[in-house]
Structure 1
Amino acid sequence: MINIIITFAIIYISYRWMKFINRPSVQLFYNNESLKKVVQSCPSLSNYKPTPYLNGLLHTILGTAGSILIATFKHPSEKHTSNREVVHEAGLSVDWIDKGSGIDVQHPLLFIMPGLTGSVDDGYINTIVSQAHQHNFHNICIYNYRMLAKNADFSFKPESYNYGLKMQPNQFMSNYVSDGFYGIDNDYYYFEDDVIEGKRVRIDLVADLHYTLLYLKNKYKFNKILAIGCSYGGVQLGMYLGRFEGKALIDAGVTVCSPHIMNITQVFLSTFMNLMLCKILQRGLKAIKDQFANRNNYPSNWTIDVQKALNATWIQDFDTYYTSRVYGYRTADAYYRHFTLINRFPQVQVPMLCISAEDDGVCHLKGLGKEEMIQNGRTILCLAKAGGHIGFLEGWNASSFWFPKPAIEFLTFHS
């Protein structure tokens, strides 16, 4: 039996090695020759040696939970202390990383946006922070979403609520990706009537983000704000930069494994990842479900069904009963089509680096939209041949993580 296992292991490793050996580890896409200087200043972009015997699923599992599974697969051991600053009592806050030197407003702010139910305690956040320390970033904070706060006020409406959206039937968006599978070039089309008419408050994630950035900018007077958005955090980052265009408060950004075209990503989502993402979303909702026990804690015309969302098997059912209704969309499909990174990227006016992996089981390659991503002339798309979803383990012993290196190099160049 042992011999059979060893034989299969040798065959599998040989297959993975042959699949890798004749292909570059990373492909870079951009359509502006001036970006070559940026690429040359980020050596890690072309210096990735993915662990050859790991597929996308193993990269994902070991990359996000590796320290629990086996000692070899671990995030940096550097310990970071953090202290929370409340931005607004409605549930907006940031966690500051303190390495002993405090906040130095002469240096830029590194603003990190986790994915889904992510937080300052997650291993991949720790890896980004450790890499940022090596590049002498003095000011680092992690964004906390209002949707995850146990004391969230869902009636809070930031001043920038719906900024950049066309909420009238005859208003259309210039440069919007108008392929029918991506979406329709009219914001009005997606939202429920009472949201359009201003009769119901919805959660506007992008407005929350701008409110937080404006608070930090006004209080600390940072000369620059540089951002990294992981997974769903990257979607919010790209949506923000596209909606706010020249008024955006971020000077350069990086997205890591973000679903560029959400309705296509949803179609090709693997069964395993569909189940796992649904469980992750349900975990976040369970933490705050007591808020929904009292109808006075959220807008009276929200039609959410918390129990059905918690009992859902698939992520689309969860989004049907909860997410789309909280955000004010007509359906879950309308939410996927509209809240899609690719729809806003033509309007982005700051340098961007987008890191993705061919074997990402969450963000399928078919939902990447390579040409659309780089058409603004400011974006570099970095497509790795392996890495899974926020994994990117490298070396034969899989002892390090690659993605924070090019991300921080890129932001250092623009600091």
Structure 2
Amino acid sequence: MFNTLYDYLSNIPGWHVLSFGLTAYVAYYLILVVKRPTFVCADGPLKNFLLQEIPTLNTKFWPTFWCLDSRAQTVFASVLRSKTIPDITYKREIFTLKDGGEVALDWMDDNCNSNAPCIIILPGLTGNSQDEYVKCLVFAANNVGIRVVVFNNRGLGGVEIKTPRLYNACNCEDLAEVVQHVRSVVPAHCKLGATGISMGGLVLGNYLARNSEEARAYLSAAKIISVPWNVHKAIDSIEQPILNNLLGRVLAQSMYHTLKSSGLHKHQELDMRSIKSCRSIRQFDTEFTIKHFGYPSVEDYYNDATLQDKLHHISVPLLCLSAADDPFQPLDAIPIQAASECSHVAIIVTARGGHIGFLEGCWPSAKDQYMSRVFVEYFSKALFDEHGEFQRIKDVLHRKYLEKHSVY
């Protein structure tokens, strides 16, 4: 018997090896990869509403089988969307901030009637309104009749700065002004929402936590996607060799080019040679960000930006989408326990998805993607709110929030 087995293994046909490998991979995919997302939120009206009104929460996430690695999801999602989603012709508004700075607000309201709600979108670290992940959400909102305005940070979207100031991950003063302005422009009976992606999620999250009552007065609902909840751990994760570190280097160079194109060097003396030599986000923040915004150290800046421990301050219903394998955010930094005790914040965690990836299916569709599907399902119900159900939930949650924080 052993001789027979030895002869077989010595002369095993190639198609046997291939069949065994495919069978093993399919078993691995179906058992360990395809899973329902983890969903956490305190028991109560928001949790019940989301489970009832967002069908995607009750289905398994089927990551693209040939693109399971987190870095592959991150990169291929960007490439695929950039190749398949066309540029958008926005209506641009140059909005002047109180300090004289200017930002570009790009509006998309085609296919929308006068009663359409509006969503403010905050792109990621160096993103703007033509970035593929932003356009993915814009088209998704537009298809269901929701108007969108993309808030391009200072120095982005082709607009040079007018004052010696850029932006960072926790500076939400500009967003506060933009929210107030958009609320004044959109008809009063139309509801307003906001979503932030990656660093945009940090800015939005910090705005919701620090300006809690103001945010609740203007916003009906909010959503953040692939946010680095704990910035310290996020930076540590992206510096891990080899592939994560490569992504970090690319981002550091992107930050340098954003700084250079912003025109800040015309207003302020900068050591552009040292900044250009940065090979990580931490180095860039050390050489530029903390000096520009007056932080004593990069640790102080990351403490200020971290959102992980601020959920209890948020009073606007907030839905969050993260991936357990996000290279920018380790799973243990996602505030699962805090969300399970928070009435206003719900977190969806997929087993795979990378950073702003969430590719699914044999060949990912540019029109129907997991990220945009959850986005539309949530905001369609929360903002159109034809029977006032979500508003009643929001009022109930706010009364509980005030009781918990001893405002009464």
Cα distance in 2, alignment partners of residues 4 and 95 from structure 1: 56
User: How do residues 284-323 of structure 1 correspond to structure 2 at under 5 angstroms?
Assistant: 284-289=255-260, 291-294=263-266, 297-298=267-268, 305-323=271-289
User: How do residues 186-201 of structure 1 correspond to structure 2 at under 5 angstroms?
Assistant: none
**2:337 aligned to which of 371, 387, 390:** 371
What's the counterpart of residue 150 of structure 2?
A: 142
Bigger CA drift: 10-19 or 324-333?
10-19
Letter aligned with residue 58 of structure 2: S
What's the counterpart of residue 251 of structure 1?
A: 220
What's the counterpart of residue 127 of structure 1?
A: 136
Q: TM-score when scaled to structure 1?
A: 0.77
Letter aligned with residue 44 of structure 1: T
**1:33 aligned to which of 44, 48, 63:** 44
1:229 equivalenced with 2:196 (yes/no)? yes
Alpha-carbon spacing, 1:136–1:259, altered in 2? closer, same or farther (3 Å): same
Letter aligned with residue 242 of structure 1: A
What's the counterpart of residue 412 of structure 1?
A: 380
What's the counterpart of residue 347 of structure 2?
A: 381
Q: Indicate if the aligned counterparts of 1:92 and 1:145 stay in contact, CA closer than 8 A.
A: yes
Alpha-carbon spacing, 1:330–1:395, altered in 2? closer, same or farther (3 Å): same
Deviation at 1:281, TM superposition (A): 4.0
Looking at CA atoms only, which structure, 1 or 2, has the larger radius of gyration?
A: 2
What is the RMSD computed on CA atoms of the aligned residues? 2.8
Give the fraction of aligned pairs with identical amino acids, expressed as a percent: 23
Task: Show CA shifts across 1:82-121 (max 9, x none).
Answer: 12111116131211124265xx553221111111111121
Cα distance in 2, alignment partners of residues 4 and 233 from structure 1: 50
What's the counterpart of residue 394 of structure 2?
A: none
1:58 equivalenced with 2:72 (yes/no)? yes
SS, match of residue 362 in structure 2: coil
Structure 1 unaligned runs (5+)?
A: 69-73, 158-200
Q: Indicate if the aligned counterparts of 2:124 and 2:199 stay in contact, CA closer than 8 A.
A: yes
1:280 equivalenced with 2:251 (yes/no)? yes
Q: Indicate if the aligned counterparts of 1:114 and 1:143 stay in contact, CA closer than 8 A.
A: yes
Deviation at 1:375, TM superposition (A): 3.2
Alpha-carbon spacing, 1:150–1:7, altered in 2? closer, same or farther (3 Å): farther
Alpha-carbon spacing, 1:388–1:5, altered in 2? closer, same or farther (3 Å): farther
Q: Indicate if the aligned counterparts of 1:84 and 1:96 stay in contact, CA closer than 8 A.
A: yes
Alpha-carbon spacing, 1:134–1:323, altered in 2? closer, same or farther (3 Å): same
Structure 2 unaligned runs (5+)?
A: 1-13, 384-408
Alpha-carbon spacing, 1:374–1:92, altered in 2? closer, same or farther (3 Å): farther
Cα distance in 1, alignment partners of residues 208 and 358 from structure 2: 26
Cα distance in 2, alignment partners of residues 53 and 146 from structure 1: 38
Letter aligned with residue 239 of structure 1: N
Alpha-carbon spacing, 1:40–1:235, altered in 2? closer, same or farther (3 Å): same
What's the counterpart of residue 44 of structure 1?
A: 56
What's the counterpart of residue 104 of structure 2?
A: 93
Cα distance in 2, alignment partners of residues 275 and 384 from structure 1: 24
SS, match of residue 146 in structure 1: coil
SS, match of residue 226 in structure 1: strand
Cα distance in 2, alignment partners of residues 98 and 8 from structure 1: 53
Alpha-carbon spacing, 1:8–1:253, altered in 2? closer, same or farther (3 Å): farther
Deviation at 1:231, TM superposition (A): 0.7
Deviation at 1:288, TM superposition (A): 4.1
How many equivalent residue pairs? 354
Deviation at 1:3, TM superposition (A): 7.7
What's the counterpart of residue 362 of structure 1?
A: 328
Deviation at 1:38, TM superposition (A): 2.3
Alpha-carbon spacing, 1:367–1:8, altered in 2? closer, same or farther (3 Å): farther
Cα distance in 1, alignment partners of residues 171 and 30 from structure 2: 42
Cα distance in 1, alignment partners of residues 182 and 132 from structure 2: 25
Deviation at 1:27, TM superposition (A): 1.1
Letter aligned with residue 236 of structure 2: V
